[in-house]
Amino acid sequence: MSPFNDPSIRFTRTTQPRPRPEDASLSFGKVMTDHMFLMDYEEGKGWHDPRVVPYGPFSLDPATSVLHYGQAVFDGLKAFRGEDGSIRLFRAQRHAERLNRSCRALCIPEMDPALIRASFEAIVAADHDWVPRAAGTSLYIRPTVIARDVMLGVHPAHRYTYFVICSPVGAYYKEGVKPVRILATDTHVRAVQGGLGEAKTAANYAASLSAQQEAEKLGFTQVLWLDGVERRFIDEVGTMNIMMRIGDEIVTPPLAGTILDGVTRNSILTLMRDWGLGVSERRIDIQEVMQAGRDGTLAEMWGTGTAAVVSPVGQLQYKGETITIGGGETGALTRKLYEAIIAIQYGRAPDPHGWTSAVRLPVAA
């Protein structure tokens, strides 16, 4: 019998549970939990056989299509252990919907969003002991779909595997919530209109690696991506959405096809609007930002993402010129946003938009 909310999900419990790491030792994504969620797709049969099984390697034929043509999508969300002991998912529905949008962009058959949510709940319920307790820690949940045809022709596959793995995590950046240095690149681009920029797919992250490596060699934490056509308008920072305060205006690039519709981005925009702050979603010219940096009106800049939540930017370099933002310190709004989001995530503050959902633990737990 299934111990989960959704009785169609089978459970095979591990017979070899592994030791859990100390909360204080956690970084990002290095340790996986004891179980994983799996489900298969075959043309004619649809998505079938949802199950939670012991975590372990897959065996893939070397001709498996995902290994050659990157037909793969993923998402990332977190479960938080609150002071009241309950475990909450943050915006599970929105992550499920985005995973399906990414599937559409890569010609992968969509899943029932209710089953995607049930998969998040089931894997967290199975591995609830792995949700860390220390401040700032959480369980990162990584749902992924890969193409499983064994063939070298280039076309959408007929077979897929959906899997969900989990990792107890601490801070994404070793700096924690401290200002990072970023480098605006005009030699590499991440995405173009009509491409895959708004999908969460492996290809976008592969496209980011060489610029990221160059930036790191020069002592920067992240790359600031400019648009792929004029190389002038700001798109994203590293793997995050970007926002800034210039004078009295809070600005962020619009969702216009090249950037990810970040769940943290949406949450932060909602909070700021709740607080009566106006936010413009508009194109932002890098020259405008550099000028605001020179004349001192660039008060704050921060990245938003599930992994780091909010990451302040202290310095930006573009074409050899460096500007320091807000004296290189974390700005008051940046800090307030970070605190407000994590208070909701850990259940310490009211959740007026219903963003969190408690995970029901398995009956036998």
Which residues contact ligand COI (rule: CB under 6 A)?
76, 239-240, 305-308
Beta bridge partners of 279: 250
| Cβ distance to ligand COI smaller for residue 298 or 307 | 307
> At its nearest, how many Å lie between ligand COI and the CB of residue 259?
12
> At its nearest, how many Å lie between ligand COI and the CB of residue 155?
27
> At its nearest, how many Å lie between ligand COI and the CB of residue 305?
2
| Cβ distance to ligand COI smaller for residue 299 or 309 | 309
| Cβ distance to ligand COI smaller for residue 3 or 76 | 76
Upper half-sphere CA count for residue 181 (Cβ side, 13 Å) = 12
Using Cβ positions, the residue closest to ligand COI within the complex turns out to be 305
> At its nearest, how many Å lie between ligand COI and the CB of residue 132?
17
CA separation for the pair 146, 148 (Å, rounded): 6
| Cβ distance to ligand COI smaller for residue 205 or 275 | 205
> At its nearest, how many Å lie between ligand COI and the CB of residue 220?
17
> At its nearest, how many Å lie between ligand COI and the CB of residue 243?
14
| Cβ distance to ligand COI smaller for residue 9 or 301 | 301
| Cβ distance to ligand COI smaller for residue 109 or 305 | 305
CA separation for the pair 162, 16 (Å, rounded): 23
